[in-house]
């Protein structure tokens, strides 16, 4: 069973990395850019058969390691 996880900074947290990407894109001549935010992406495959159990496990992983809940949000999707 495969899951995709996206971890993004919360809306009100400054994102200097995204800002740098935005500036670079503008320097490359891309205009009309409103905002760029960068995050992390994981694809995790686990051997569990039970979807609910698997989702619970992935959620645990996010809480324990993948996301910093103070400044980040995460989304889990089965793929």
Q: Is 52 in the site for its own copies (CB under 8 A)?
A: no
**Nearest CB to its own copies, comparing residues 70 and 79:** 79
Q: Which of 6, 19, 55, 72 binds its own copies (CB under 8 A)?
A: 6
Q: What is the enclosing helix (H) or strand (E) of 54? A: helix 51-61
Cβ of 8: how many Cβ atoms within 10 Å? 19
The Cα–Cα gap between 9 and 5 comes to: 13
Contacting residues toward its own copies, per CB under 8 A: 4, 6-8, 18, 21, 24-25, 28, 30, 32-48, 57, 60-61, 64-66
């Amino acid at each position: 069973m495969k899951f995709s996880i996206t971890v993004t900074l919360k809306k009100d947290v400054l994102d200097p990395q995204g800002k740098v990407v935005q500036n670079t894109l503008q320097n490359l001549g891309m205009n009309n850019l409103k905002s760029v935010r960068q995050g992390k992406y994981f694809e995790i495959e686990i051997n569990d058969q039970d979807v609910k159990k698997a989702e619970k496990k992935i959620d645990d992983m996010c809480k324990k390691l993948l996301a910093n809940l103070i400044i980040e949000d995460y989304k889990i999707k089965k793929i």
